[in-house]
Amino acid sequence: MSTDAAGLGRGRAVGFVLPALVLIGVFLVFPALWTIYLGLTDYRLTGLEAAEPRVVGLDNYTAALGDERFRGSLWLTAQYVLGSAVIGQAGLGFSIAWVLRDRRGPVKRVTEGLVLLAWILPSSVVAFLWIALLDRDEGTLNALLHTPGLAWLLDHPMPSIIVFNVWRGTAFSMMLYGAALANVPPSHLETARLAGASTFQQLRDVVVPRIKGHVLTNLLLISLWTFNDFSAFQITAGGPEGRSEILPIYIYNVALSGGRLGFGAAISFLVLIINLVVAFVYLRLLRTRREDARREVAAP
Amino acid sequence: MNGAGRHALGVLGRATFLALVLGFFALPLLWLATAPFDGHPGIAMSVPDFTLRNFRALLGNPYALTSLRNSLIQAGGSAALVVTLAALAAYALSRVRVPGRDALLYVLLLLSSVVTGTAAMVPLFELATRLNLIDTHLGVVLTMSGGLLPAAIFIMKDFMDGTPTSYEESARVFGASPLQILRHVVIPLVRPGLATIAVWAVANVWGGFLQPFILLRDPDKAPGAVILYTLYTEGGAPRLDLISTFSLLYSLPVVVMYVFVSRRYGFRFHGGIKR
């Protein structure tokens, strides 16, 4: 809509937009650009380089590639995103939405409520809840499994934070697939079922073709969020010995805790680039879907 | 297998699956429901020996209540700033064809998901240091608002586009100035949108950990998220009575707000915007 109904005029309109743009510019765009420059220096929090940082070109990047800790962190991040988002959250979220699709009543409400609660509680709270759950001596999980003294967070840090993040983030996928499944006509499923199709065949032939767009949207968004998620820091802080040090925690530990700001900025820039690629693909997808929808509306 | 057998197996399978899901999601949460009221709270979940004494321990802790006040200041300040600036910008972008508008909106949407706290923590820390914003509420408010604004403008513009312009036109006929029209005509119309943005901003800042953790060194300024983290990571055996009651008190506003919004306006997706 671009009819200027209130008689705002171009000048005043610009005045309305400007304050927001200034804030975004200073606290979002400028930091992003500054990361590029800082990543090319040997800037440190303390010491000689803090007073007079030198431009070292691509040294930070070559150092990172040669650094075993960085390569290890990349590998852990891939496991984290693939395990907890792509397989865990999307898989569990879809399964719950599928099982609940034509249910009504308290079972559905309670299940959805609990899954949502895990999603909306503040990260500091859920982090402690999981520390308590997985505690070596008195944790509820050890009591349930009769495995006293098993230190989950020390012996299996990566599986622990992966399961944690599945628990934390499944709600979004559940709701998205719930909405998507509501658009699959029940009559099509019924026909397939009467023709003797198994659940797997129904999913493959009737459901998946109709929700393909949603699946892609879902996978891109949850991967992006999980890739940037800092909550695991509050459970393991990357330990023990860096065995759960995914990229966000790695950046914090190296740059702000370890003081190597220039090096940390270089890694941050890599994160920015990866985010940018994922977001581009997502927006491209959104646009083609919107155009398809427009064509469908226009066709009949 | 015959149809009836397959059906029964299906029902059984679904029931088992749902029971497992319920167990998985309820298990970590049970502690939060029981420990605050337990006379001797342990890490293990147990039926509480009911008491409200733990809440008194909370009142005696110097940082607990201050931190909730700090959370309120930072969340309230960010929400006010985000709602005001987003409403102004979204209104102008919705009603006037500012040159380069579509490109601007596209870039905003891109920025909102690309420049995250994780990707920008080094420059944000640097920026705050140089602007003397370390250890100030303002530093947290400005950084958080900058991150939330692009998505907020986007959601707000959706709401603005959805309201008819005829009211504004008739108000203009009666000689109202643009600012009067905005205040008395447009804002009442888009109130659900403003409420959505406000709640969304408050929930984000209230639960946000990374930015205040980086920008605040002084525990007197730290919000609930950071104080809770220090309660269980710093020094000696964790005070479980304190942690449990504080967690509950600190979580409550978010849950209440969520219930309020979903009751009042229903739960809607806005292009998959989460935090």
User: For residues A264 and A253, is the Cβ–Cβ distance under 8 A?
Assistant: no
Residue B272 binned pLDDT confidence (cut-offs 50, 70, 90): very low
DSSP A129-169: HHHHHT-TTT-HHHHHHT-TT--HHHH-HHHHHHHHHHHHH
For residues A18 and B152, what is the distance between their CA atoms, to the nearest angstrom?
A: 15
User: Which of B187-191, B205-209, B236-240 has the lowest average pLDDT?
Assistant: B236-240
Q: Are residue A174 and residue A240 in the same domain, yes or no?
A: yes
Residue B131 binned pLDDT confidence (cut-offs 50, 70, 90): very high
What's the confidence (pLDDT) of residue A3? 61
Average pLDDT estimate for B225-241: 79
For residues A154 and A149, what is the distance between their CA atoms, to the nearest angstrom?
A: 11
What's the confidence (pLDDT) of residue A298? 60
Q: How many domains does chain A have?
A: 2
What value, to the nearest 5°, has the Cα angle with vertex B80 and ends B78 and B86? 95
- Flag whether A156 is in a domain: yes
Q: Could you report the per-residue pLDDT of A250-300, keeping only the tens digit for each?
A: 999 998 888 888 889 999 999 999 999 988 888 888 777 777 776 666 654
Q: Are residue A154 and residue A261 in the same domain, yes or no?
A: yes
Q: Are residue A145 and residue A235 in the same domain, yes or no?
A: yes
**Portion of chain A with pLDDT greater than 70, in percent:** 95
Q: B38 has which bridge partners? A: B50
- Flag whether A58 is in a domain: no
- Flag whether A63 is in a domain: no
- Flag whether A215 is in a domain: yes
What's the confidence (pLDDT) of residue B83? 95
User: Which of A19-23, A200-204, B16-20 has the lowest average pLDDT?
Assistant: A200-204
Q: Are residue A120 and residue A207 in the same domain, yes or no?
A: yes
Amino acid in position A274: I
The residue segments making up the domain with residue A113 are: 68-298
Q: A55 has which bridge partners? A: A41
Token output for A269:
């820039």
User: For residues A199 and A257, is the Cβ–Cβ distance under 8 A?
Assistant: no
Which has the higher per-residue pLDDT, B15 or A149?
Answer: B15
Residue B234 binned pLDDT confidence (cut-offs 50, 70, 90): confident
What's the confidence (pLDDT) of residue B179? 79
- The reply to whether A129 touches chain B by the CB within 8 Å rule is yes
Put simply, the chain A residues between 187 and 226 with a CB less than 8 A from any chain B CB are: 199, 217, 221, 224-225
Contact list in A for residue B273 (CB cut-off 8 A) is none
- Closest partner residue to A3 (CB to CB) among B85, B165, B243 is B165
Q: Are residue A173 and residue A221 in the same domain, yes or no?
A: yes
For residues B154 and A50, what is the distance between their CA atoms, to the nearest angstrom?
A: 39
Is residue A287 helix, strand or coil? helix
Q: Are residue A121 and residue A169 in the same domain, yes or no?
A: yes
What's the confidence (pLDDT) of residue B47? 63
Token output for A159:
């599986």
Contact list in A for residue B117 (CB cut-off 8 A) is 228, 230
Q: Mutation test of the interface with chain A: which of B105, B121, B189, choosing the one with the most A Cβ atoms within 10 A?
A: B121
- Flag whether A242 is in a domain: yes
Q: Are residue A152 and residue A273 in the same domain, yes or no?
A: yes
- Flag whether A59 is in a domain: no
- B119–A32 CB contact, under 8 Å: yes
- B121–A225 CB contact, under 8 Å: no
Q: Could you report the per-residue pLDDT of B24-76, keeping only the tens digit for each?
A: 999 989 888 887 777 777 766 666 666 777 777 777 777 888 899 999 999 99
Q: Are residue A138 and residue A227 in the same domain, yes or no?
A: yes
Q: Is the pLDDT score of B273 beyond 70?
A: no
What's the confidence (pLDDT) of residue A300? 46
Size of chain A in residues: 300
User: Which of A93-97, A202-206, B4-8, B114-118 has the lowest average pLDDT?
Assistant: B4-8
Q: How many CB atoms lie within 10 A of CB A208?
A: 12
What's the confidence (pLDDT) of residue B196? 84
Q: Are residue A160 and residue A18 in the same domain, yes or no?
A: no
What's the confidence (pLDDT) of residue A2? 46
What's the confidence (pLDDT) of residue A78? 93
Is residue B59 helix, strand or coil? helix
For residues B160 and A43, what is the distance between their CA atoms, to the nearest angstrom?
A: 45
Average pLDDT estimate for B217-237: 83
> What distance in Å separates residue B200's CA from the closest CA in chain A?
11
CATH architecture of B67-265: Orthogonal Bundle (1.10)
Report the CATH number that the domain containing residue A169 is assigned in CATH.
Answer: 1.10.3720.10
**Portion of chain B with pLDDT greater than 90, in percent:** 29
CA distances for A267 relative to A225, A288, B111, B193, angstroms: 17, 32, 18, 37
Q: What is the mean pLDDT of chain B?
A: 84
The values of phi and psi at residue A238, to 5°, are: 95, -10
ipTM of the complex: 0.85
- The reply to whether A179 touches chain B by the CB within 8 Å rule is yes
Q: Mutation test of the interface with chain B: which of A4, A108, A124, A245, choosing the one with the most B Cβ atoms within 10 A?
A: A124
Q: B50 has which bridge partners? A: B38
CA distances for A171 relative to A191, B21, B25, angstroms: 30, 12, 11
- The reply to whether A248 touches chain B by the CB within 8 Å rule is yes
Q: Are residue A224 and residue A105 in the same domain, yes or no?
A: yes
> What distance in Å separates residue A6's CA from the closest CA in chain B?
5
Q: Which helix (H) or strand (E) holds A63?
A: helix A59-66
Q: Are residue A162 and residue A23 in the same domain, yes or no?
A: no
What's the confidence (pLDDT) of residue A159? 93
- A92–B31 CB contact, under 8 Å: no
Q: Are residue A131 and residue A75 in the same domain, yes or no?
A: yes
Residue B114 binned pLDDT confidence (cut-offs 50, 70, 90): confident
- B113–A172 CB contact, under 8 Å: no
- Flag whether A109 is in a domain: yes
User: For residues A247 and A74, is the Cβ–Cβ distance under 8 A?
Assistant: yes
Residue A197 binned pLDDT confidence (cut-offs 50, 70, 90): confident
For residues A267 and A218, what is the distance between their CA atoms, to the nearest angstrom?
A: 26
Q: Is the pLDDT score of B2 beyond 70?
A: no
Contact list in B for residue A139 (CB cut-off 8 A) is 43-44
What value, to the nearest 5°, has the Cα angle with vertex B43 and ends B39 and B46? 60
> What distance in Å separates residue A217's CA from the closest CA in chain B?
9
> What distance in Å separates residue B271's CA from the closest CA in chain A?
9
Put simply, the chain A residues between 61 and 90 with a CB less than 8 A from any chain B CB are: none
